[in-house]
Structure 1
Amino acid sequence: MRRVEMARAASVEQVLKTKFKMLPFDGEWLAALGCPELTGSWIVWGNSGNGKTRFALQLCKYLCNFGRVAYNSLEEGVSASLMKALQETNMMEARRKFIVLDKEPIGELVKRLKQQKSPNIICIDSLQYTGMNYEEYKQLKEQFPNKLFIYISHADGKNPEGRVAKKVRFDSNIKIFVQGYRAEPVSRYGGGEPYIIWKDGYEKFSLENI
């Protein structure tokens, strides 16, 4: 008869004494996301033309304060539109901590992440272009428990597009819907305040959608 392994139990006291690596966010990022851990998954979704990529890059730039960040542009690759987005976000300011991966397949990304001094934070644009099913998504997260994965997703209305993306949303510690240059976060770490990505774009969208 196969032995059933029991999950390791912990007392309340042990749990309360556990030290977690929390990121000391401040300002508008603290208000939006709280103080998150450098682990697990986040998801950002929205329709095209609403500021999703700009928000992802702003977030990556801020996260460069806490570790090395890789932006895997699976969907566009290194393109004129990505170059424009990098310029608009002044990503040169974070050039020592930030790299762009040009349509790097997940298998190659795994090899990269196994190396010493590999990025701590990986932003994947987009989830739909990874070709992963939900089990493969979980395996990737479990293989690198000390890294943070941020997935950018297409949207279907106000929800992530596709079955896998919907499951990833439920599993993610931070979920961010982007519409009209405004990010609406739901975070397990506090925060919850909307984040304005681009004031002019947000105000124009608001006027057109009264």
Structure 2
Amino acid sequence: MARAYSINEILNKKYKLLDFRGAWFDAFGKPEARGVWFVYGNSSNGKGSFLYQLSMELSRNGRVAINEMEEGSAKTVQDTLSRHRMEDYAGKILIIDNEPMEELAKRLRRHKSPEFIIINSFQYTQLNYRQYIEFKEEFRSNKLIVFSSHADGKQPAGRAAKSVMYDADMKIWVEGYRAISKGRYIGEKGYFDVWPEKALRYWGERVPENY
């Protein structure tokens, strides 16, 4: 039987929050540092770059692992790390080369395993929705799990991915180099520009002269 809380117990409950600052705070506020996030979008819109920028921001709050199931340790990953100058994050961010979900679960069960795990992408996990729920329920109380997903138009690609989106605590749509919060956490601005100049041009907004 699940525990039942009184209203006052919920109101007085303390939560571990992410210490987002600057543009991250403006986009997403201060979300809870556990649960499931779902980042989706079409190719060539900045989704991959957003995930790596997110990993850097998350690393201020704890250790991060990126299970790079799509690109593994390919030259494209090296290029992304170089482009974002991530050499200073060597002790905080771990790149995992296409680890199956069963092995990833074993890794996350270890003592002092990373607090944050980014999985690129949900389609490559080959999980169905039931398997996703089992994975989520094991780790959601003490981990933040971020799934990326391909899109089919404006929706996640595949029935299971669409169900995961509806279940996720944070839904982030990436389009035109802009990561837009679709709930449940939304900052005052509500979006983060992955590549500001390209985002402004895509969305038809004025580009400052110093860009």
User: What's the TM-score, normalizing by structure 2?
Assistant: 0.91
Query: 2:108 maps to which residue?
Result: 113
Give aligned pairs, total. 202
Asked if the contact 2:70/2:121 (under 8 Å) is kept, the reply is yes
Identity %: 44
Q: 2:149 aligns with which of 150, 153, 169?
A: 153
State how far apart, in whole Å, the 2-side matches of 1:52 and 1:200 are. Answer: 16
Q: 1:199 aligns with which of 180, 190, 196?
A: 196
Unaligned runs of 5+ in 2: 205-211
CA-CA distance at 1:34 after TM superposition: 1.1
Match status 1:22 vs 2:13:
no
Asked if the contact 1:33/1:186 (under 8 Å) is kept, the reply is no
Deviating 4+ runs (over 3 angstroms): 203-207
| Post-superposition CA distance 1:65-124 (Å, at most 9, x none) | 001100001011111111111111121122111000000000110111111111110000
State how far apart, in whole Å, the 1-side matches of 2:103 and 2:113 are. Answer: 13
Q: 1:43 aligns with which of 13, 32, 38?
A: 38
CA-CA distance at 1:187 after TM superposition: 3.0
Asked if the contact 2:165/2:171 (under 8 Å) is kept, the reply is yes
Secondary structure in 1 matching 2:182: strand
Give the stretch that moved more between structures: 190-199 or 47-56: 190-199
CA-CA distance at 1:13 after TM superposition: 1.0
State how far apart, in whole Å, the 2-side matches of 1:205 and 1:19 are. Answer: 41
Q: Please list, as runs of the form range in 1=range in 2, the aligned pairs for 1:94-133 lying within 5 A after superposition.
A: 94-133=89-128
Query: 2:86 maps to which residue?
Result: 91
Secondary structure in 2 matching 1:187: coil
Asked if the contact 1:33/1:174 (under 8 Å) is kept, the reply is no
Asked if the contact 1:128/1:154 (under 8 Å) is kept, the reply is yes
Q: 1:62 aligns with which of 52, 57, 61?
A: 57
Query: 1:34 maps to which residue?
Result: 29
Unaligned runs of 5+ in 1: none
User: What's the TM-score, normalizing by structure 1?
Assistant: 0.91
